[in-house]
């Protein structure tokens, strides 16, 4: 949705960290994009999630118009 503040939740040792951005503010978008790309390089998986029924999909590119992103660390077999 145009103008909606985007949120990226990053799972980490603190429970999670969050980065927000206004799609109309290039600096904020840049910070979020850099964080996204860095985490993807580190092996994180990114998921776009929306709606009360938690619909979602995996994404590999940062889209500033997305409302919510979940960044999940790499899983290993146990």
Q: Which residues bind other proteins (CB under 8 A)?
A: 9, 11-16, 45, 47, 49, 52-54, 56-58, 70, 72-78
Residue 41 or 53 with smaller CB distance to other proteins: 53
- State the nearest-atom distance from the C-beta of 64 to other proteins, in Å: 20
- State the nearest-atom distance from the C-beta of 5 to other proteins, in Å: 16
Three-class DSSP category at 42: coil
46-53 long-range contacts, CB within 8 A, separation 24+ = 46/70, 46/71, 46/72, 47/72
Three-class DSSP category at 19: strand
Residue 27 or 74 with smaller CB distance to other proteins: 74
- State the nearest-atom distance from the C-beta of 23 to other proteins, in Å: 22
């Amino acid at each position: 949705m145009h103008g909606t503040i985007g949120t990226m939740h990053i799972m980490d040792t603190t429970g999670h960290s969050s980065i927000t951005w206004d799609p109309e503010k290039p600096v904020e978008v840049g910070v979020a994009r850099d964080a996204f790309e860095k985490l993807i390089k580190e092996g994180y998986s990114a998921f776009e999630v929306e709606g009360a029924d938690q619909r979602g999909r995996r994404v590999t590119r940062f889209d500033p118009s997305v409302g919510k992103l979940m960044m999940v660390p790499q899983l290993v077999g146990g």
